Amino acid sequence: MGFGDYFISALFLQAGYNSALVAIGAGLLGLSAGSAGAFIFLRKRALVSDAISHATLPGVGLAFIIMVAFGSDGRWLPGLILGSAISSAIGLLMVEWITRKTRLTEDAAIGAVLSVFFGFGIVLLTVIQTMSSGRQAGLENFLLGSTAGMLISEATTIAVAGAMAAGFVFLLRRPMTLVAFDPEYAATTGVNVRNIDLAMMGLALIVTVIGLKIVGLILIVALLIIPPVAARFWTNQVGKMIGIAAVIGGLSGYVGAVLSAAHAALPTGPIIVLVAFGFFMISALFSPLRGGLASALRHQRFQRRVHRRQGLLSLARREPIYDGLTIRILRRAGMIRADGVATARGRIAAEKAAHDEARWAMARRMLPDDSAIERYDGLTPIERMMTPDQIAEIDRMIHNAQTTQGAKA
């Protein structure tokens, strides 16, 4: 069976019970990472989660050594997870403590904690390599993740913990939204900002330690941050953004795990991250809301409308038009002839534009506080933004102004 066939069958969970469970576990891990990561991204604390993940390594090493010292198999996953959780919690609290108690900024604290913990962890791994029981430990797989030879019990643990973390995110969504947007206001409404921040980082910690086996500690931050960043392109509402981030994270985990299982030499973590990056690229380019293509198109359309309007107003004032783009746009719309003289159609449109402009000018004087004035983009016809009554009143005022001017003359 070729790679492609295997991938297709694995994608639909036909490639055996074990790999199906691994894929589901990776999917639920991605789901919890995407939704928890959404709040970390909004709170602008992506780097803290990087410190948390690197601080897991000494815990993994120490847990292994302790378990071996007590005569058991050092590779027991719940034990390693517990060890990594303890050491990354210490790392997190140290970042917090350094930021609060010294004059160092958070990024300096993150840099210090991250590198020291990671360095210590690498030393421990090297020591373990020299132990007789350490050679086959495969602890280096925790760096980049590997699903090869994963036990069913391990996949189940990851799936259950991932689902629980996603549930916590849902429960805490309101206080976390409030703290991410406006912590000072949140504090006055009775939200304990420090506890919510700790809960947020605690969720990142949980995602990190259960993701060690699949994604690995170096890249888990990518699974926390890429899905919400991609989701941000699709929506302006925080609730929807969390949902989309969860889906992107879940799909990345699922598809990435299947891809890497289909080819034993592919490391799981990097593949999952690359799949997530694919979603990011699609979002950044093609989202109709904030994607690059749609923004460029909208900008171009707006520019053309501005030129058209300026050209028509120039025609109404019988001024010559010099701008090349304006001339091209008016020509294409059949408003002017090749020699720059307005056509019948052009004259009607110019008169209409001038009339609209005059109405807006009067409206700004009469109703300076009206919300239509605030929302006016300089192009939309007044009929679409004000009521017929308001426009009738504006026309009456314009008429009055003209007659008094006429009387003066």
**Contact set with other proteins (CB under 8 A):** 42, 44, 171-172, 174-175, 177-178, 180-182, 184-185, 187-190, 232, 235-238, 241, 368-369, 371-372, 374-375
Q: Least distance to other proteins from the beta carbon of 171, Å?
A: 7
Q: Least distance to other proteins from the beta carbon of 132, Å?
A: 53
Please say which residue, 10 or 179, places its beta carbon nearer to other proteins.
179
- Give the integer Cα–Cα distance in Å for 404 and 6: 85
Count helices and strands in the chain by DSSP H and E runs: 19, 0
Please say which residue, 135 or 240, places its beta carbon nearer to other proteins.
240
Q: Which of 365, 357, 366, 358 is nearest to 389 (CA)?
A: 366
Q: How far is CA 238 from CA 35, 49, 87, in A?
A: 11, 20, 32
Please say which residue, 319 or 369, places its beta carbon nearer to other proteins.
369
Please say which residue, 133 or 235, places its beta carbon nearer to other proteins.
235
Going by the DSSP 8-state scheme, the letter that residue 266 receives in this structure is S
Q: Least distance to other proteins from the beta carbon of 39, Å?
A: 11
Please say which residue, 44 or 332, places its beta carbon nearer to other proteins.
44
Please say which residue, 245 or 271, places its beta carbon nearer to other proteins.
245
What six digits make up the tokens of 132? 């007789």
Q: Least distance to other proteins from the beta carbon of 343, Å?
A: 37
Please say which residue, 96 or 154, places its beta carbon nearer to other proteins.
96
How remote is the C-alpha of 309 from its chain's centroid? 37
What six digits make up the tokens of 277? 């990056």
Side chain identity at residue 50, one-letter code:
D
State the DSSP H helix or E strand holding residue 290, giving kind and residue range, or none if neither: none
Q: How far is CA 391 from CA 247, 374, 385, in A?
A: 48, 16, 10
Please say which residue, 368 or 388, places its beta carbon nearer to other proteins.
368
- Give the integer Cα–Cα distance in Å for 75 and 208: 18
- Give the integer Cα–Cα distance in Å for 196 and 298: 39
Q: Least distance to other proteins from the beta carbon of 45, Å?
A: 13
CA terminus-to-terminus distance, the chain = 94
Q: Least distance to other proteins from the beta carbon of 293, Å?
A: 19
Going by the DSSP 8-state scheme, the letter that residue 336 receives in this structure is B
- Give the integer Cα–Cα distance in Å for 325 and 337: 15
Q: Least distance to other proteins from the beta carbon of 388, Å?
A: 17
Q: Least distance to other proteins from the beta carbon of 164, Å?
A: 17
Q: Which residues pair with residue 336 across a beta bridge? A: 342
